[in-house]
Structure 1
Amino acid sequence: MNAHKPVRRVAIVGTGTIGASWATHYLVRGFDVTATDPSPTAETALRSYVQAAWDAAASTGLAPDASPERLSFTPDLRRAVADADFVQENAPERPDLKVKLFTDIDDATPPDAIIASSSSGITMSIIQAECRRPERTVIGHPFNPPHIVPLVEVVGGTRTAPETVQDAMSFYAAIGKKPIHLKKELPGHVANRIQAALYREVVYLVQEGVLDVADSDDAVSWGPGLRWGVMGPHLLWHLGGGEGGIQHFMDTLMPRMVASWHELGTPEFTPELKQKIEAGVLEEADGHSVDELAARRDAMLSALLRVRAQHDPSGPPSPAADRPVKEGS
């Protein structure tokens, strides 16, 4: 694999919500994108998504040569990936499907292309099991929606070359993402596991009648969620330690937190609890459609990212810093 091959052509395999969002991001960043999906309505849905998401995606940075016209579509997988420099796979979360799909992509792509999976839970060691060139396969798991949220979790499988992980990290960073390197594989990767741990306690509090659904959402988004949008928990604890910083926090406050861990709950997810959450969410949505709520979310996320860019030099680069496209792959 040529570690310095520029990435000019990106293939998107699977054009559901995540694949369509990835396609939008790559287009906004100035790439030629070829997408493929077996659904007979996939192309229409994809182009509609790109059109609807373009302004929000562009608000986080628009490359000078970006255009929706650089999107092409074919239902033929081999054709879609035949000249790709980088492949972003987004098929349903089924191990058997992923294994077969990666085998086919591996056979059809140029040997120096990187093949990344957006898989949210399946490890690359499973996905790459039948590839002839597994050394160039890697997890590149985004956070939804990828055309706005910068996080990408990067982790290789047992047969992934270390250079592939580094090249993927460099590539994602160059296109405005915030990649993190997972040094070990584990189901669900990292960010989803953190989400699951938090949500387990939220659901427990709702089940116990401590909070209703709307107040539990507010407890997260108007409290710790605001701080987490600025800094992660370790750095926030450093601030929480006052002048003594993290050392003071660990010595005086952490023991109390550890002692409280056994009090955290594990809810029993009954049909009644499921119905209670569903009713609470619909009441909180107050008649607004999923699309309307998503647009509100995306607008606020874009605004937050613009503020972060003004204050955080370690954040993702703007498209002006991306050019030329894109060494490190």
Structure 2
Amino acid sequence: MSSKLFSPLTIKDVTLKNRIVMSPMCMYSCEKEDGMVNNWHLTHYTSRAVGQVGLIIVEATAVTPQGRISPRDLGIWSDEHRSGLQQLVEMVHEQGAKIGIQLAHAGRKAELDGPIIAPSAISFSENMKRPEEMTIKQIQDTVQAFKEGARRAKEAGFDIIELHGAHGYLINEFLSPLSNHRKDEYGGSMEKRYRFLKEIIEAVKEVWSGPLFVRISANDYHEEGYGPADYAIMASWMKEQGVDLVDCSSGAVVRAKIDVYPGYQVPYAELIRKEANVLTGAVGLITSGIQAEEILKNERADLIFLARELLRDPYWPRTAAKELGVNLTPPKQYERGW
């Protein structure tokens, strides 16, 4: 059987052997709170490469120490992080997969000692720390930190970079009117709220020529926030800047009730793909090969991002291939039991 899920996709000079992506998921596993790769990360990611995932995207990796979600997050704020990340890249490549990294800053959702920063001095919730409103200098320094993170990612050998513009973290905080109440050149209109991400993309592209993804929350789920049509406009701006794929998640910029069901975020990927004329990734309660195949064959998205399903089953590509009647070639060491 011909399968879209198991067909290759080339983005710039990177060819993915299939359309299955391991979505970035924080492991909170840095033992010394130093942001360094350890044996857990090497085992966790490489096992999914053995399982025949086409693209593995490493969890949210902080571009500054202050930008970590938790003290145990991975980091890329120092050249000292590069060797561990390079080892991870080499191990994943050995197993035939491509690997990307999600560059991130937690903004007001950082749960750390000391001050935290955001576009506006508004807490995420009553029981979370109130952030400091970023100065222009802090904004410029953070843009530079993303650029330096991209440089280190390139030097470590990553195939793809994804910018984390979703889930209520710093870039998302700038994009949404719910968290960005600034009156200067970084707030007050959609164009001005987009400026922070625009400057990050420009800075990253000075040092990175490979495929560039941006993860967005395509719905704020709030009447005073932005919805899919608004984020489609911003996705078109990303496309104009040379972003290759928009990874369409949703929510978490504020607390909101979300009606969750299988494939509930796929319509966002479909809308943005059509309206912005950009490649998109679909994510969120996609659990079966048949479901993934429907999304791709009906051109609702271009890549399938899997999160919890790959935690449950590191060999999900094998499971999906059997469901779709596809003959998936196993690692030679596993041929006798595949």
* TM-score normalised by L of structure 2: 0.32
Computing the radius of gyration from Cα coordinates, the structure with the larger value is 1
Structure having the larger proportion of residues in helix: 1
